[in-house]
Amino acid sequence: MNEIKGEHSVHVISSEAEPVPAKELPKKAKRVVSLDIFRGLTVALMILVDDAGEQWPVIGHAPWNGCHLADFVMPFFLFIVGMAIPLSLKKIPNKLLAVKKVIVRTLKLLFWGLLLQGGFSHAPDHLSYGVDMKQIRWCGILQRIALAYLVVALVEIVSRSRQARDDPEHTNLSIFKLYYWHWLVAACIITVYLALLYGIHVPDWQFTVHNPDSMYNGTTFTVTCGVRGKLDPPCNAVGYIDREVLGINHVYKKPAWRRSEACSVKPPYEAPFRKTAPAWCYAPFEPEGILSSISAILSTIIGLHYGHVLIHFQDHLSRLKQWLLLGLALLTLGFVLHFTHAIPLNKQLYTLSYVCVTSGAAALVFSASYVMVDIWGLKLLFVPFKWIGMNAMLVYVMAAEGIFAGFINGWYYDDPRNTLVYWIQQHVFIRVWHSTRVGILLYVIFAEILFWAVIAGILHQLGIYWKL
């Protein structure tokens, strides 16, 4: 699965198809090491913000408007998906075979997404499995990646007949003209997203609290809306569409807005709700929902453009010029939209300003990685991220989704809370530093990220990769 886990087949492919002499073996395509490193960095970032974000809310998801470190993870993944698509599909000239590969990979992504985030797995905190189908969560990280991958890959396959012969010489604008279909799709997505976001009327709605630990368990609340074009937590069109299409029982039960000033007694930390907290604080909300996932396809289309630049421009300076100019333009546009209060940065809604800022940041981070690794040759400095990036699906499942920690927690002594993971956290990190916050941060860096980098490195040496 080259779009999230560093498949060994992601290469820079020469843009000139020249005949190979009979006695000359074909040259092996050069691997884009910086893409592996960027992928590995993104997986490591996900582990960091997921497992240390509770103690360090400044790196966790923004409760609503704004953009914290955790809010860059999903767009970075989608950007990487886009970059990998032209590199992998270029090796499959037959369109039917390419479509088959894309569909099979999409189905695998959906399967793993439902299994890991649908509610079946309760790891690492609870030693149980299973989900009530009346409460299953249909959306999630891998499901969003699957949708973006499917749409963008199919557009790439259907529209690539014009690019059958690659022209080695391109100007700054010709690369956009060559792939104009992708930008037409992007324009359609923006139009549909904005029309629905600002045009749909959101009526009043009800929900029932399903939380045995809450004093309001079984209580039904009514949220008053009756508006259109609002981007606040209770009355936005993104949540309304998910409630109507997916069903309110099938969306995420612990949205980030629970840590907002309106809800939490200790914002931005996870804490008990205020006595004056509005009803919507207790409601579910899907951060990877339908309308926001449609907008998320834009991140993959932008990444796709960067992959096209990598293929068509053969010298470093030309590539960097293309990447940096567009990246800076996206950042500028996103910040202008946000700070002029036209469209706020919001990961939960996946707003246009959020697309621009996070895609621009992805462009700059990848460009920096490309300079340091593929130009300056500083590969050894980033080798842990390279190893993670080449086996990213394994690390994502075992570390980011807590499957390995859940397995270890299954072997406890006397009390289910007395596990090896708990002992290491307390005795090796927290008590040594006399700080829960610092101890958890160091535990995540060394006992999770570095540990899995070493495991991925060993598997790399053995030639073992988890591919979808």
pLDDT tens-digit profile of 250-301? Answer: 999 999 999 999 999 999 888 899 999 999 999 999 999 999 999 999 999 9
Least confident piece of the model among 205-214, 347-356, 392-401: 205-214
pLDDT tens-digit profile of 444-458? Answer: 999 999 999 999 999
pLDDT tens-digit profile of 120-145? Answer: 877 777 777 888 888 899 999 999 99
pLDDT tens-digit profile of 293-306? Answer: 999 999 999 999 99
pLDDT at 213 (0 to 100): 76
The three state secondary structure string of the chain is CCCCCCCCCCEECCCCCCCCCCCCCCCCCEECHHHHHHHHHHHHHHHHHHHHCCCCCCCCCCCCECCCHHHHHHHHHHHHHHHHHHHHHCCCCCHHHHHHHHHHHHHHHHHHHHHHHCCCECCCCCCCECCCCCCCCCCCHHHHHHHHHHHHHHHHHHCHHHHCCCCCCCCCCHHHHHCHHHHHHHHHHHHHHHHHHHHCEECCEEEECCCCCCCCCCCEEEECCCEECCCCCCCCHHHHHHHHHCCHHHCCCCCHHHHCCCCECCCCCCCCECCCCCHHHHCCCCCCCHHHHHHHHHHHHHHHHHHHHHHHCCCHHHHHHHHHHHHHHHHHHHHHHHHCCCCCCECCCCCHHHHHHHHHHHHHHHHHHHHHHHHCCCCHHHHHHHHHHHCHHHHHHHHHCCHHHHHHHCCCECECCCCHHHHHHHHHHHHHHCCHHHHHHHHHHHHHHHHHHHHHHHHHHHCCCCCC
